Chain A
Amino acid sequence: MQNIRKTYRDGTVALSGVDFTVLEGEIHALIGENGAGKTTLMKILYGLLRPTVGRILIKGKDVNFQHPSDAIKNGVGMVQQHFALVPDFTVVENIVLGSEPCRQGVIVDYRSAIEAIKKLSEETGLIVDPGSRLEGLPIGVQQRVEILKMLYRGAMTLILDEPTSVLSPIEVEDFFKTLNSLRDKGRTIIFVTHKLKEALAISDRITVLRAGKVTGVVNSSGTTPQMLANMMVGREVVLKLEKKPVTLGEPLLEVEDLWARNDKGLFAVKGLNFTVRRGEVFGIAGVEGNGQTELVESLTGLRKVEKGKVKVNGKDVTNSLPNELTRVGVAHIPEDRHKRGLILDFDLAENLVLGSQSNPPFGTRFNLSLGAVYDYAQEAIGKFSIVAPSEKVRVKYLSGGNQQRIVVARELGRNPDFIVAAQPTRGLDVAATEYVRTILLKMREGGKAVLLVSSDLDEILQLSDRVAVIYEGTFVGVRKPEELTEEKIGLMMGGVEPDS
């Protein structure tokens, strides 16, 4: 791709003169912060967008993609961040969708499709059961289906947009093995990510984008995460956060024998006991789906506590409603900011007062003071470094990092004592991640308490004062981060209590 420029209709310049070269048979990582233009560049390569200026050459030949089908004809396939699969269809139906093999031109020949898929599966190690319905399959398997869909159409170059964001650490390992075997079979892979470690672990070469420009093309060997981070952000980034010693205070959260059920009615939290003290970050690590979500929801009033006691500041708040918990100083950064944390069609200011809309100064029972709401929003935009055109922009138009800043601003703006942070940096770029982590540590230094639930092990080990590893609803162990190695924690996440 040469000298690619892209200006959107609203005047936003997404790419300003990008040269991007991928060699045949390599794994090439494209990294950059959210909004740096990675996805735009890849959409151009896949024919979803047309560049304003610039040309694309494949094996030295000029191509002009009007539509993804043109790209596929030239062997370029893309797996987007949000899958395009039909939940009610089977795996094979999903894979052949749009390019069904037909007999006599009308009857779909599933038998030959299944044969072809099985062959592809064996060849690449992407094992799927062609007959099973897509709905209910783990997300990792759905991803394999998406990749097979592209391979089935004859893609030799695969673009994978943030493929690991939906996978657990263990799945990521398997996934990398698959990528390596695909490369060994002669396929070219473009791996789009903002995770530095993954880019270094899997790729042969790396291109770094910042604000629509290439800021570096490097070989992966001999490059450090720090170097990449600096290229991405354009300044020195603190990858290791400084944790000041803090003396522990009173117990702020006390949990006794907590039991809660999941959506299917089975117990997902099974008799947890723990205490979080002022000045402490209590981390909970574990493979997702081991009761973390249910634990967080039962502490924040969103899920019924079946048995046990929750105390905040010595006060029994078991099964209190979310607004009552807000009043006693509990804040909650939910794991899914789109589902829980934000109302995407509300504007920025409206989202900032969610939960305080009938409290002064924003409102009384019968009156909502729009003036106060918008004044507060302007102040918060500055204070929490939210980048937005105005306080009246609908939050669905903001980047993930800015959306999360809104959630953080709202929750911390109420000056809470205790904050439950679930996956607080998921999907965020380097700068936003640094920002959220720094803020959580500031809370700790201010004598507040933080319960941190994260599937990012680095995050847990860096921020926590104590780490609990959860497995099937119980704690395998509670340790100081210094006592834990990645290997040890990995074993514990599998439910094995290592001898200590």
Chain B
Amino acid sequence: MAKEGSKTQPPSRERKIDISVLTQSLLAVALGFVAGGIMIAAAGYSPVVAYGVLLKGAFGDFDSIAETLAQATPLILTGLGVAVAFLEGCFNIGAEGQLFMGAFLAFLGGYLIAMPAPIHIPFVILMGIIGGAGWAILPAILKVKRGAHEVVTTIMMNWIGILLTSYLTLYHFLEPTASIPETPIINSSAVLPIIVPRTGLSASFLVALICVLVIYYMLKKMPLGYNIRAVGLNPSAAEYGGIAVSRVWVTGMLISGALCGLGGAGVTLGSYRRFVDRFSPGYGFDGIAVALIGRNNPIGALLAAIFIGALYSGSVYMRLITHMPKELVMAIEGIIIVFAAIPEATRLVRMAVEHWRFWRAR
């Protein structure tokens, strides 16, 4: 097969099906729907009807599309954040805590300070970034200095963040007239306006889109992106190539935290215009699924977030029309997401082992 000097080696396994990453992901999503359909049928409903309603609920008209995008907005940002971390070999399970801190700091900036809107909006967005990134600093430093595994530390930071913001809301910023624990409304100059009237879609969606583009550019066109990917794929080789592995690692983690914090800020500034205690139904954790389904690619994360957003907004409609129990709907959502996430998850497990060896040897 080869001339002198030999050329490419044959693929190691003959039966390996060679399909592109995209087809692989679409196939996984399709299988997820099949599995969900079996579940729907087993529960005595018609999968065709249920999925039809789901689709109509998610993309049926202009308003429902806007609602889907609104659902997707925080997921785009947390998914992007988790993906950046994954790319450098970091398992940022702390997206949820970073989201809460970003949301709360954005509230503080919007509530305590008054400025003209053109300065106020960038300021509160920056506060969201600081909140998220700040919440990622400690796990990042513990990792590079002491080797503490980020999965453990970020999970702990989640609870500190959720409970800290809960405490601050209840004891220092509680809106007295409200029926649920929440803060007063922020100054109007800090509000991200609604861009589609009568829906929840605010300008935070545009912020998320800009982030997708910025991260895409960073990964493709900046040495930092090269370094992050190099550290993720082979930390030993990155070190050998003169990349300051610890510094890149911390930087990537801060970017990841900043994006998650922005996700929270978007909810505060755009949707509720205040901080609502425990507002997140798990945007941070869903961010992990978004990153996995999107194969750690910024564009992929955008599409995956819209996919999950559609699933959520469509399933509300599906429940209303078909009268399925809420638990069944959640189980269907879950099984579809698990199926879709599997191809990338298997690859990441292998990567995790390699990284564990690298940091242990330090």
Contact = CB atoms under 8 A, between A and B. Distances in A.
Contacts of B244: 321
Interface of A: 8-10, 12-16, 33-37, 40, 49-50, 211-212, 233-235, 263, 300-302, 321-324, 326, 332, 334, 339-346, 350, 354-355, 357-358, 363-368, 370, 385, 387-389, 393, 397-399, 401-402, 429, 431-432
B227 interface: yes
B6 A346 contact: no
Interface stretch (B65-73, B138-146, B229-237, B299-307): B229-237
B9 A399 contact: yes
Contacts of A364: 223
Interface stretch (B10-18, B101-109, B262-270): B10-18
22 contacts: A10-B18, A33-B6, A34-B9, A35-B2, A212-B2, A321-B244, A322-B240, A326-B242, A340-B240, A341-B237, A342-B237, A354-B241, A355-B242, A358-B223, A366-B222, A366-B223, A397-B8, A397-B9, A397-B11, A399-B7, A401-B5, A402-B7
Contact of A367 (B1, B221, B237): B221
Interface residues of B, number: 35
B8 A9 contact: no
A307 B141 CA distance: 28
B4 interface: yes
B236 A9 contact: no
Nearest to A325: B242
B3 interface: yes
B233 A346 contact: yes
Contacts of B9: 34-35, 397-399
Given A321-B244, A370-B221, A302 B11 contact: no
Contacts of A323: 242-243
Contacts of A368: 220-223, 225-226
B42 interface: no
Contacts of B55: none
Contact of A399 (B6, B11, B224, B243): B6
Contacts of A15: 1
A44 B288 CA distance: 42
Nearest to B231: A343
B16 to A, nearest CB: 9
A389 B223 CA distance: 26
Given A322-B239, A387-B3, 19 more contacts: A9-B11, A10-B10, A10-B11, A12-B1, A12-B8, A35-B9, A37-B1, A211-B2, A233-B4, A234-B4, A302-B240, A323-B243, A345-B233, A345-B234, A346-B230, A364-B223, A367-B223, A370-B220, A429-B6
Nearest to B227: A357
| Residue of A343, A354, A357, A399 ringed by the most chain B CB atoms within 10 A | A343
Given A9-B14, A302-B239, A302-B240, A343 B230 contact: yes
Interface string B7-50: 11111001000100000000000000000000000000000000
Contacts of A431: 4-6
B361 interface: yes
B238 interface: yes
Contacts of B240: 300, 302, 322, 332, 334, 340-341
